[in-house]
Chain A
Amino acid sequence: MTRTEPRDTRRIAKTVAARKELTPERLVREHASAVLGLCMTYTRNFHDSEDIMQDVFLQAFTKLDTLRDRTRVRPWLLKIAGRKCIDYYRKRRSSYPIAEDVPARPDYGNEHIIRVHTAISRLPTSYREAITLYYLDGRDCAGVARSLGISEVAVRRRLVRARLMLHELLVEDES
């Protein structure tokens, strides 16, 4: 079984489920990977990403009544995640200086995973959002466009450029 199959199934299930009302469980099930993925592009390690992700969902649970358009829950969550990640950076900067190219913590022992996420974290924000959501949402540009609130063409453009930049960064890192 390839990894894409379950994700695609999940995506279809998500579309069907989109008509139903939000619950804490649905919020987590449908958006956890996107939130975690976005956090990873900032923090480059699972530990901090999971901490931030936890904060994101906590905030979401308590503020869900402020979300007027419930079809926009994904962009809303990603916005919270983006803000939390920036806060995370600020806090870290205020406590001790870190270089932009600080190596990620080698958690979970997967060097290549960290390499990829370190490279992604060096992409411009709009590119890293597009590429992250693309890979986590079953490689569906239309879905990413809905999540980011931009056109599909714009997503495709950002994605392609992000992919090329990622390649360059990975080659650079290898050499």
Chain B
Amino acid sequence: MTKNNDCQDRHEAIAALVLGELEIPAADEIKKHMDACRNCRSLYQALTEEEEIVRSAFNAIDERSRVIEDSLVAQFGKGSRVCEDIVGKLPESQKTETAHHEPNLWRTIMKSKTIRFTAAAVIMIACVIGVSLWRSTSSGIALADVLARVDQVKAFRCKGSWTMNGQIAPGKPYRFETRYADVMSQEYGYKSNVERPDPNSEWMPYAEFYVSPQKKTFVQIAHTTKKYVRAQLSDEDAQQRQKELSQYIEPGALLKDIMACKYETLGRSTIDDVVVEGFRTTDPNCRSPVRDAWFKDPKVDVKVWISVKTRLPVRYEDLTSGLDQRGNTISQRFVVHDFEWDVPVTAAEFEPPPIPDGYAVVDNPPGLDDEETAIQGLKRCVELFGNYLETISDDTGATGAIFFAFEKSETPTALRLKEEVKGLTGDEKLNRVSSAGGRVRRLIWFYVRLVQDKKDPAYYGKTVTPKDADKVLLRWKVSDNKYRVIFGDLSAETVTSEKLAALEMALPK
């Protein structure tokens, strides 16, 4: 055998060495040989240099496939609209189970030929839509990967702001602005410090919220009204309260929403010296539960920027504009930023501070709003405004709506309150009226939650008065064929869909 052939035989060992697939004795032997053989050394160097290019070519596939995975999963995975469509075709008894256990959904699909073909057809349509999506994105970051990382985070901090511009009535604009600093922990719960600008545009403490699913407590301290709430909640209510309060900043929910919509990449940029990659959707279905109750046909622009290094969110913006339920222009802007991930937190940090002197406890603490809350709110409407509010679906303009109705009102309660607020500044007056309308606000929250929970609510305050004992004032779905109805005289009854239809037919147009 020639020397050249000897080397030829060693080439496989050299390739194995470059790949890290050579046992130590053989590796030592080939390294020793390379010290003496220039040809083999050159091959080793060439393969090593080339290795980077080869790996990057496969990395490109890996990254590309993640983008496609996101699109595919978003189209037919758990929680996707396609999945919902499939679930929607199943018998009611299977829906709950299916929605929570992926394997059962799959088994159910595969068990029946009809459902299987339906599913395949739905997936096929989804994929046709998906193909255009796959090709429109070429990001190196997969949102599913980001979501997996966010789910692993034990605690994080963030800051944010919320600005709302709307109109109490045409030509009567209002602006509501808050900023907040939040901390969320899997172990200890959620804490939020909210500030609002005073008339001199100085930021002042507005409210503090503390929810502990572990201790099942909720504490709210309202600094402007000098009131506080301390409530003991059930397990479910504590979880729900945390979910409601943190829904604007919770990044997992945001990412899932974006992934379920058609989104585009914004490419790379830098935020506070961090290299980020942006994602954007204008799909109104994104974050719809947090705006559906307020906006009619909103224009939506949701963006999230992910750190290229940590693959965790750096900033999130949600701009919505359109008309409110009364037809007035309205816009809102959420910005969440300054995320600090996996920060150390202690139980003490989530303990509410001592209530400041002079703060009054709210006698009817808002547990999770229920039917009684709604009835109390409707009663308060009559006391304050002489009638029911025309609309209660506009949470963002709740203060405005209450204030506007109050200004027009001449009920004894309203007149007393008007006397009381004489001489106060505009902001103080607004706060006092807002505080007096606390129960009305909770009625509005109750309605907003019915919308969010897709309970098919409807409210007829525009045409129904307290004298209309037999007319539907507010209704929502309680089960498949049953609706709970609050009538104009505030009596309540559960009725069938058919009876509800007849009752609503009788309402004045």
Contacts and interface: CB of A to CB of B under 8 A. Distances in A.
Contacts of A29: 69, 73, 144
Contact of B78 (A25, A33, A47, A139): A25
Q: What range describes how many residues of A lie at the interface?
A: 35 or more
B119 interface: yes
Most chain A C-beta atoms within 10 Å of own C-beta, residue among B69, B116, B131:
B69
A75 to B, nearest CB: 18
B347 interface: no
A61 B115 CA distance: 12
B47 interface: yes
Interface of A is mostly: helix
A116 B21 contact: no
A156 to B, nearest CB: 6
A23 interface: yes
Contact of A25 (B20, B61, B64, B73): B73
A56 to B, nearest CB: 11
Given A108-B138, A112-B56, A167-B47, A21 B21 contact: no
Interface residues of B, number: 53
A117 B60 CA distance: 11
A110 interface: yes
A166 B47 CA distance: 10
A64 B68 CA distance: 20
B21 A159 contact: yes
B506 interface: no
Most chain A C-beta atoms within 10 Å of own C-beta, residue among B50, B61, B69:
B61
Contact of A36 (B20, B43, B65): B65
B131 A40 contact: no
Interface in B1-30: 11-12, 15-16, 18-21
A167 B50 contact: yes
Interface stretch (B122-130, B213-221, B335-343, B355-363): B122-130
Interface string A45-66: 0110011011001100110110
Interface string A108-142: 10101101110000000000000010011001010
Given A21-B103, A50-B134, A167-B50, A61 B123 contact: yes
A115 B60 CA distance: 13
Nearest to A136: B58
A112 B53 contact: yes
Contacts of A136: 58, 61-62
A58 B18 CA distance: 38
B106 interface: yes
Given A25-B77, A164-B11, A167-B46, A33 B61 contact: yes
A20 B119 CA distance: 22
Nearest to B134: A50
Given A29-B73, A112-B53, A139 B20 contact: yes
A160 interface: yes
Interface in B44-73: 46-47, 50, 53-62, 64-66, 68-69, 72-73
Contact of B102 (A3, A23, A32): A23
B105 interface: yes
Contacts of A110: 60
A53 B43 CA distance: 36
Interface string A67-105: 000000000000000000000000000000000000000
6 contacts: A28-B69, A46-B64, A61-B120, A62-B120, A113-B60, A115-B57
Interface of A: 1, 3, 6-7, 20-26, 28-29, 32-33, 35-37, 40, 46-47, 50-51, 53-54, 57-58, 61-62, 64-65, 108, 110, 112-113, 115-117, 132, 135-136, 139, 141, 156, 159-161, 163-164, 166-167, 170-171
